[in-house]
Structures are given as C-alpha cells and as structure tokens.
Structure 1
Amino acid sequence: MTTTGRRALLAAGAAAGVTALAGCTSSPGGQARRPNAAEREAERVARAEAALRLRSVTAARGLLGRYDATLAAHPALAPRLTPLRRAVAAHAKALGEGGTTVEPATATTSAGTAPSTSPAPPPAPSVHPSASASASGRPAAPAAPVRVAADPRAALRELAAAERGASDAHTAALLAAPPEYARLLASVAAACAAHAYLLTEGARA
C-alpha cells in the first residue's frame, strides 16, 4: 500500500471514531432527563405539604404574638396566661418540626390558673426549606402590631376568640395533611379549644 493510501485509511478511521464518540455523547443518557409524572406529582405533594405546615406554624405564631401583646398590656394577667402562652409556644415549635404528639389539656381553673399543654414530639423532619423564611435566608416580614383591649376582661375575650380561630384553622388543615401531621394538628386544635374555654367559661366556674 502506498503512503497516500495509508494516510487515507488512517483519516477514515479517525473520522469513524469521532462519529462514534459523537453518537455516545448525544445519547439519552447524556442529556438532562425530564421528571416523569410520578416525580412531578411527588414534588407537587411535597410543596403542598410545606405550604400547609407554614400556614399552621404562622397561625400558631400569630396566636403567640397575641399572648405576648396581652401580657404586655395587662401584666396582672400573667399568672393566668403564662401557662397557656407556654403551651402555645410549644405548639408552634412542634408544628414547625413536624412533631407527632401533644398532651391533652386538663381543665384546671382553681386559683385562676390554667393548665399547661405541652407537646412531646420525637425527633422529626423539619418544615421544607422552601416553606421557611429563615431557612431560605430571606428575612421574615414584620408582623403587624396587635391591638389589645384596655379592659382585661375584653382582652381575655379577644384572646379566647384568637384561640378558637387557631383551632378552626388547624382543624380545616386536617383534610390536606399527611396522617402523622394531621394527628398533631388535631391535638393542637383540641388544645386551642380547651384554652378558649379556660379563658372564658372556665374562668367563671
């Protein structure tokens, strides 16, 4: 074979190798794969659950803010409100962490005090980062100031109404919540209803 013939043969082999390499890199395995229907549904469910958890935590924190405002406006109510405020803070923490249990409230009204309702959640996954302002690095929007009635009894009625509102919100979220989180929501909703009773009817017992 002549030198020219050998060069032509080598050139043809090199071209074939390049073609084969191009075929490998353009194969489906080398491209970004689009998520299938099951993966898209799983992502949708995860986003919906994260949004639900964020709403639940926001409701609990809003209630906690009302307790703080009421205590600031009426310090004399501290012996009565502090145990309930402590329970609401624990609820907010449990809802954010995805805890599973909340101890039921006990209607104790002697000496004008209310029971403490505290959750005892085991270690559990936290709220999805996309649903948390702190986890995303964005500062949370400042909360609007809470107005509290000047009359202590009216302030207690406002607080009881806020507890009932939080109970209704947690109950409404049950249908869309996963089973474990739904159990927690049910426990917190029941505790809020018990708090509302202790703030109004229970105080007169």
Structure 2
Amino acid sequence: MTTVGRRALLTAGAAGTAMTLAGCTSGGEEGPRKPTAAERAAAAEAALRARSATTSRDLLLRYDAVVHAHPALAARLAPLRASVAAQVKALAEGGTAAAPGPAASSSVPAPSSASPSPSRSLAFVRVPADPAAALRELAAAVRATADTHTAALLTAPPEYARLLASVAASGAAHAYLLTEGGRG
C-alpha cells in the first residue's frame, strides 16, 4: 500500500517544515534557530502518532470494505471494527504533555471521526468473493497492523508506547477472533 508510505513521508516532511519555520526569526540573527531536544522529541512523537493513526485508519478501511463486500459478516465484525475506530482516535490524540484521553491537548489533530479518509475509497480495497477468504485476509491485515504498532514501540515515548502495546495486543486478539474464534 504505497499510499501509507507517501502519507507518512508527507507527515514527516510537514513536521520538519514546521520545525524549520519555527526556527526562523526576523530579528537579524544569523541562521535559523536550532530546535531544542524537547521540540525535536515533540515533532518525532507527532510524526509517530500520525503514522500510527494512519496505519489503523487503513485497517478500518479494510473492515469497511469487507462489510461492504459481505454484508452477512457485518454483525460479526461490528464490535471489532468499533474497537479499531476507538484505537484510531486514541492513537491520534494527545501529545507530549498529556496522556492520550478525551481531555488531552492534541499536537496532532484528531480525526473528526474514526472514518477512513475521504480521499481513500472502498473501491481500492480488494476483497475476496469468498467470505472465509475475506476473513483470512482481514486477519492478516490485522496482524500486519499489530506488527507495525509493535515495531513503533522502539521509538515511542513511554506513555505512547503503552498505548501502542495495548493496541497491538488488541490486534492479536482480533486476529484470533477472525480466524480461530469463528470455529466451533
């Protein structure tokens, strides 16, 4: 999915541009002001939050595509989709000064809803015609998303790392429910 890569690159570029512009002064000082360690950490966290939220938004889009292609799976997928929608919101909220939560100030704008980006369309998500195959592919996407969040733990600040770990663990449970949990 090259769109995720481009979006992450644009987000990182925007954060870098903002940091560069923040360093510019009109006071006649020589050269731009170098960002402080705290400013660099805040920019890195903002970029990580944007990437993590985008990764989960892409998963949410995949849930929507499967439900659209196989309406009979809607009831089974509804609680899992709702969980992913809540994760998208939590991953995008907050900043370095506060833990993610409803009252936290945001260094990255939270999405207005947990819906996928309007620029992305269900038509671009290929869903197998067989419902069982669609669930297997969805489970694989859930596992890949959880793996991405797990890998992000290495660079995340402690509070955000806890959230990422929780989201990744939830993904593992979702993958189980999508595959093994449906048998019986």
The answer to whether TM tops 0.5 is yes
**Structure 1 spans left out of the alignment, 5+ residues:** 1-29, 102-120, 135-139
Distance 2:67 2:85 in 1: 14
Shift of 1:202: 1.3
Question: SS state of the match for residue 103, structure 2?
Answer: coil
Quick check: 1:202 aligned with 2:181?
Answer: yes
Partner of 1:35: 33
Aligned equivalent of 1:81: 77
Contact 1:100 / 1:122 at 8 angstroms: preserved in 2?
Answer: no
TM-score where L is the length of structure 2: 0.72
1:131-170 Cα distance to aligned partner (Å, 9 max, x none): x899xxxxx7822611100000000001100110110011
Q: Given that residues 100 and 184 in structure 1 are in contact (C-alpha distance below 8 angstroms), is that contact kept between their aligned partners in structure 2?
A: no
Query: Residue 25 of structure 1 corresponds to which residue in structure 2?
Result: none
Counterpart contact for 1:66–1:159, Cα < 8 Å: yes
1:31 deviates by: 4.6
User: Which residue pairs with 1:123 in the alignment?
Assistant: 103
> How does the TM-score come out when normalised to structure 1?
0.65
Tell me if structure 2 keeps the 8 A contact 1:167–1:188.
Answer: yes
> What corresponds to 2:171 in structure 1?
192
Over alpha carbons, which structure has the higher Rg?
Answer: 1
Which whole-Å deviations, capped at 9, do the CAs of 1:70-91 have from their partners, x for residues lacking one?
0000000011001100110000
- Equivalent position amino acid for 1:80 in 2: R
| Alignment length (residue pairs) | 148
Q: RMSD of the alignment, in Å?
A: 2.5
Structure 2 CA distance, aligned partners of 1:93 and 1:127? 13
Larger relative contact order (C-alpha < 8 A, sep ≥ 6)? Answer: 1
Residue deviations 1:164-190 (CA, integer Å, cap 9, x gap): 011001100011111111111111010
The CA distance in 2 between the partners of 1:100 and 1:71, in whole Å, is 33
